Structure 1
Amino acid sequence: GKVIDAAEMARIGFVNHVHPKGQVLAAATDLAEAVGANGPLATRGTKRIARARQEPGFRAAREMSDTLRHALEWSHDVDEGIAAATEGRPAKFTGR
């Protein structure tokens, strides 16, 4: 097969970021910290949906996505996230 370099992979949308070799760990750490700052309910739900979409059965993944989205809409964490964004402060997520 054809070898595709990082710049081309980014251009075609296969990856969303390309970092210089010496900056990969720092970039990964920054991403992990950003994910960790999100609400735990939303993070867990997103991971479940991503895993389901990797398996056969897009319809099942779509149904799971809809179910989780509806459940999250009524969670304390969503209210806290909106309030924190409105007030310009970090959110204090509880996982509820």
Structure 2
Amino acid sequence: HLLTPVVTDMGEAASALRWCVFEMERRYRLMSALGVRNLAGYNKKVAEAFKKGEPILDPTLTQLPPGEMAPELTHLPYIVVVVDELADMMMMVG
């Protein structure tokens, strides 16, 4: 299953990689807040909390409008990025 269509434009590829870095950092913050070391540990903790009927709210969202609750955490899939011709992309984008 592809999250996005295959990217062939170098500018779009750079943008897609920036999104990947942002998502990676977001996931690191979530895992740190939950005290787990990897995605498997995160998904296990979220699933166990859901089974107990005590879903975990997103601990990284601290500035919400008054009266609004953070969303519940859900299962996170693995993200795999395949880059073909990385050297060409680095020369074009910098």
TM-score, normalised relative to structure 2: 0.31
TM-score, normalised relative to structure 1: 0.30
Greater RCO structure (CA 8 Å; 6+ sep): 2
Q: Which has the higher helix share?
A: 1
